[in-house]
């Protein structure tokens, strides 16, 4: 099993969509929200994902295909 910490950035068209739920449902990935700030117009989430490395890559590709900006998460993560 592998673990990655990501910062997901959502625009106005995605803040009301269950993107993280779909990520966990469509892929063999366990999601853990570590920190978030979501408003009506935008949002970001620090997300920890766990699963097989190839499944994590497929999940990240899915997020990007939906229009989510995905960056590595650094610092400011609740331990």
Chunked mean pLDDT (size 10), the chain, 79 residues: 95 93 97 94 95 97 97 70
Residue 51 phi, psi (nearest 5): 165, -170
Q: Please tell me the predicted confidence (pLDDT) of residue 74.
A: 75
Pairing outcome for strands 69-72 and 30-38 = unpaired
Tokens 């959502």: give the residue: 10
Give ∠ CA 76-78-72 in degrees, rounded to 5. 50
Q: Where are the domains of the chain?
A: 2-72
Decide: 68 and 9 in contact? Cβ < 8 Å.
yes
Q: Please tell me the predicted confidence (pLDDT) of residue 66.
A: 95
Pairing outcome for strands 2-10 and 43-51 = antiparallel
Q: Please tell me the predicted confidence (pLDDT) of residue 23.
A: 97
Q: Which fold has domain 2-72?
A: Alpha-Beta Plaits (3.30.70)
């Amino acid at each position: 099993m592998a673990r990655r910490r990501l910062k997901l950035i959502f625009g106005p068209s995605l803040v009301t969509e269950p993107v993280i739920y779909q990520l966990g449902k469509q892929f063999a990935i366990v999601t853990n929200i570590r920190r978030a700030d979501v408003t009506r117009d935008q949002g970001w989430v620090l997300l920890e994902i766990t699963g097989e490395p190839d499944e994590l890559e497929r999940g990240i590709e899915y997020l990007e295909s939906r229009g989510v900006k995905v960056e590595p998460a650094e610092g400011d993560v609740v331990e």
